[in-house]
Amino acid sequence: MNNNTLVDIWSKIRLLMKSHPWHGVPIGDNFPETVTAYIEIVPTDTVKYEIDKHSGFLKVDRPQKYSNICPTPYGFIPQTLCGNSVADYCMEMTGRKDIVGDSDPLDICVITEKVLNHSNILLQAIPIGGLRMIDNNEADDKIIAVMKDDAIFSDWKDISQCSDSFIERLRHYFLTYKDAPGNEGKRCEIVSVYGMDEAYKVIDASNKDYLEKYSDLHNLLKREEL
């Protein structure tokens, strides 16, 4: 059986299976300017969901604490990983040492005027900046983006166009959403807010980290697209 036949069989088998949101969905042909976002939670969720890395299904992480609700649809960018390159860039920009990646896909918040009433969806997003978050010495950046073709926010090109109060809402959520008994000793901080150009560099670094660890999965997906 030749290689082309194997690729054709694999392509047909994939029609019978759900793609893994992290590994089976492309980051997007025009990244980092436009990226695919997989949404795990929306502002109406009172339970925090996250991807189960093994199965690709959403799983319950924990109930949201009190009234601590994410202000935007929130999820991650497929084919990204916060590894050595993301950690190195974080240390370069902060002057800190001993930072490591959190080994998760790169998180993303998507601003839109539309109400998304459920998660487990894909959308196209345009990055405009990010929050440089360090969680217990792990680089845990949060990319801020607007939904592509949004009627109100699609003209935003940089995080500087967001109001200070909106940025503060995001900061408050991410600095408190892990509060729970037993987590008191963990240090979570947002050391800076950055614009579009830095967001692009973080996305590029996270894709580089992904390819270093999962190049075989990426190559399989690319061959199917040919």
Q: Examine residue 135 and state whether it is found in any structural domain, yes or no.
A: yes
Q: Examine residue 226 and state whether it is found in any structural domain, yes or no.
A: no
Say what the pLDDT of residue 119 is.
Answer: 95
pLDDT in tens, 139-151: 999 999 999 999 9
Bridge partners (DSSP) listed for residue 111: 146
CB burial of residue 130 (10 Å; 0-12, 13-18, 19+)? buried
| Domain coverage including residue 33 | 26-214
Q: What is the mean pLDDT of residues 72-85?
A: 98
Query: Model-level pTM?
Result: 0.91
pLDDT in tens, 19-68: 899 999 999 999 999 999 999 999 988 888 999 999 999 999 877 766 67
Mean pLDDT, all residues of the chain: 90
Q: Examine residue 10 and state whether it is found in any structural domain, yes or no.
A: no
Does residue 78 have a cis peptide bond before it, meaning omega lies within 30 degrees of 0? no
Q: Examine residue 78 and state whether it is found in any structural domain, yes or no.
A: yes
Q: Examine residue 220 and state whether it is found in any structural domain, yes or no.
A: no
Say what the pLDDT of residue 67 is.
Answer: 62
Alpha-carbon span 142 to 85, nearest angstrom = 16
Q: Examine residue 131 and state whether it is found in any structural domain, yes or no.
A: yes
Alpha-carbon span 86 to 143, nearest angstrom = 13
Please tell me which residue, 158 or 221, carries the higher pLDDT value: 158
Say what the pLDDT of residue 180 is.
Answer: 55
Q: Examine residue 185 and state whether it is found in any structural domain, yes or no.
A: yes
* Chain-centre distance for alpha carbon 187: 21
The CATH number covering residue 116 comes to 3.90.80.10
Q: Would you say residue 157 has pLDDT above 70? A: yes
Radius of gyration of the chain (CA): 18
| The total number of structural domains that make up the chain | 1
Q: What is the mean pLDDT of residues 84-98?
A: 97
